[in-house]
Structure 1
């Protein structure tokens, strides 16, 4: 029974993990559109900063899903009994406080796959 639940959990989490990747791409496309469409440099920079932060939050959420996937995959591979459907309970048990949570978002924002386009788009907004 537990293995079946773990399989279902893995499938649902994996689908959501991939969905977050698509959402992050949509945020990057919106950032590019902001540079192209918004003529006020200050407003364009503010929108880019907001979108950069939004992508960091999405990637942080995606990372939590990834942590749970990595926790259940060994149990599935070994055929071991493990409690299923524990994403939020596990996160709540280790949830960081305010400053530490903000630090997680900042770390996500500085990951190369997240950060790469934003400084370039900001430079383009300033000099475009």
Structure 2
């Protein structure tokens, strides 16, 4: 097994781990609605959890981008493809300041992330 194979296996494992962490954040939001009856506490907490999941999904997306860069090299058998370049590749393209915040917000607004939070916020207000 070459370095790209090892990198792919490690990144795929972490990519799936981020998915589990995101589910944990969603479940924490549900628990907050059930356990905290005051919407003045619950609504800001849900907003914070929503943003936190956006950050997690942004991190997961970076891993996914690298996985998508590795897979063609694995398929073609390119032995000369550079392995272990996740951070240097990302640092070369890393947005700064508002660009980074925009990435987090874009991730937070993806339907698979955003769907439960407005619903939980509405339930919090009606409970």
State the TM bucket, normalised to the shorter chain: over 0.9
Name the residue aligned to 1:107.
106
Aligned counterparts, 1:67-78, within 5 A: 67-78=65-76
Alignment equivalent of 1:58, drawn from 51, 56, 59: 56
Aligned counterparts, 1:1-128, within 5 A: 4-80=2-78, 81-128=80-127
Q: Which runs of 5+ in 1 are unaligned?
A: none
Give the distance between the partners of 1:71 and 1:47, measured in 2 at CA: 36
CA deviations over 1:67-111 (Å, ceiling 9, x no partner): 000001000100112110000000000000110000000100100
Give the distance between the partners of 2:38 and 2:58, measured in 1 at CA: 30
Give the distance between the partners of 1:28 and 1:20, measured in 2 at CA: 12
Q: Which runs of 5+ in 2 are unaligned?
A: none
- By how many angstroms is 1:40 displaced? 1.2
SS in 2 for 1:83: coil
* TM-score of the two chains, using structure 2 as the length reference: 0.98
Q: Report how many residues are paired.
A: 126
- By how many angstroms is 1:39 displaced? 1.5
Q: Give the aligned CA root-mean-square deviation in angstroms.
A: 0.7
SS in 1 for 2:2: helix
